[in-house]
Amino acid sequence: MSEEGNFPAPTWLTEEYVEQKLRVYFKNNSLKLIKLQIKPASPKGENYASVMNRINVEYTTTSDSKIKKATSFLVKATFADKDPTSELLADYGIYTREMDIYERILPDLADMVKNEIEDSRKLFAATVYVDRERDSIIFEDLSLEEYKVANRLKKLDLEHTHLVLEKLANFHAAAAVLAKRQPGIFEKNYDRGFFNKHTRGYEPTMRNLLEALSRSLEFNQDLKQRYQAKINRLVDHVMDYGEQSTSINPGDFVTLAHGDLWTTNIMFQYDEKDHPTNAILIDFQFSVWNSPAIDLHYFFSTAMDDNLRWNRQTELVQFYYYKLVASLKKLKYSGQVPSLFDFQLQFQRRAFYSVFSSLIFEPCMLYIGKEEASIAQGMSASESGIRFRDSVFQAEHIRKKMVYALPYLDQFGLLDVM
């Protein structure tokens, strides 16, 4: 059975289908599915690029049908073919890329982190089954180990931030070393992040949201006078500047960047005093071969507490850098390791990533209004789409945030002609 949610459960997600996949996963052909319950796994505002369902199952594994076991898994699937979002995201190759990552990349990275960096903490969710025919993946349900997502509205404090940066450094270091050990492994389909030279599918969404931001400045005459013209000019150049910010320069340290590292794509485990003890990265649809600095800008702009964001970024880049260098050393990385000075310059050259993250994506991530929140609404020229976008930027908490975000970005020249 399926409960109502933002999207209906996939029609192919039947008892017969789940039973077959669990038999393979548990390596037990005698497994018999007794009960299947399907529930939406993502609240509104927490997943824009896929449909997530949680499946609760009861099953037996022996001839004695009285001994029942119960557990749950997550099923991640594409939008329906007729949904305009499906075509957009397919152009970015996100579905095939994530399936490749879970099948070919993450198991190797997890082994390297555990055995060579000697960090025994879990790094990723285990994969139950990758179904390429249906563009779907079944994962273990990390909530069974009491992993949970932090509050996307409250953001992450320093303790959470340090933990994420440490785990991110391990991920980046292992991926850079894997590329040396297996040349060419990241050459195909790892060049299509939000900005790339192949598709500009996100351009209508980004333009529409920037125009809504411009309209919202009518409510603050000071911000309107100082920034509205700059935002209006940015509408026509956002994709150009984005591509510039993700161009790889000679001498750059590059690796597999997560690409979409915000609050709901990180899960935390806590001790009895509610301190985070581990962080797991999830959702690798926009992972891309590029500078790790794009992950830092995106994470700082969308997931981190604003006080840390405005006042301690340079220090946190340094914290991440030393963790990265330590992990590369343990992995015996054969490439050139940048100095801290060079890495800080690399971070600065990717700074436009913080513009689109702060002004376009973060307001949507913090949306608490009543309109339907989706990529399709960002793209649409309909009254509903315009109403959604205006409600995003005219919300009081976003208008207050722009009082700090716009001057912060502008002081670096990031709102001027680049």
Please answer whether residues 303 and 155 qualify as being in contact, where contact means their C-beta atoms are separated by less than 8 angstroms. yes
Closest Cα to residue 106, out of 283, 331, 298? 283
Closest Cα to residue 269, out of 279, 282, 254? 279
Q: Give percent of the chain with pLDDT exceeding 70.
A: 93
Residues across the chain: 418
87 pLDDT above the threshold of 90: no
pLDDT at 4: 37
pLDDT at 3: 37
96 pLDDT above the threshold of 90: no
pLDDT averaged over every residue in the chain: 92
Q: Give percent of the chain with pLDDT exceeding 90.
A: 79
Residue range 119-157, pLDDT digits in tens: 999 999 988 999 999 889 999 999 999 999 999 999 999
pLDDT at 43: 61
CATH topology of domain 87-124+149-410: Aminoglycoside 3'-phosphotransferase; Chain: A, domain 2 (3.90.1200)
Residue range 218-227, pLDDT digits in tens: 999 999 999 9
312 token code pair: 């301690």
Q: What are the Cα distances from residue 70, in Å, to 5, 15, 55, 58, 146?
A: 23, 14, 11, 4, 16
Strand order in the sheet with 266-270: 148-149, 266-270, 276-281
pLDDT at 226: 98
239 pLDDT above the threshold of 80: yes
- Residue 254 pLDDT class (50, 70, 90 cuts): very high
Residue range 345-391, pLDDT digits in tens: 999 999 999 999 999 999 999 999 999 888 888 888 899 999 999 99
Q: Give the pTM.
A: 0.91
pLDDT at 92: 82
Residue range 164-188, pLDDT digits in tens: 999 999 999 999 999 999 999 999 8
Residue range 268-304, pLDDT digits in tens: 999 999 999 999 999 999 999 999 999 999 999 999 9
418 pLDDT above the threshold of 50: yes
d(CA 406, CA 397): 14
Closest Cα to residue 410, out of 245, 235, 226? 226
d(CA 162, CA 156): 10
pLDDT at 253: 98
Please answer whether residues 292 and 324 qualify as being in contact, where contact means their C-beta atoms are separated by less than 8 angstroms. yes
pLDDT at 256: 98
5 pLDDT above the threshold of 50: no
d(CA 100, CA 148): 25
Q: Which residues lie closer than 8 Å to 184 by C-beta, 6 or more apart? A: none
2 pLDDT above the threshold of 80: no
pLDDT at 63: 66
Domain ranges (residues) in the chain: 15-77, 87-124+149-410
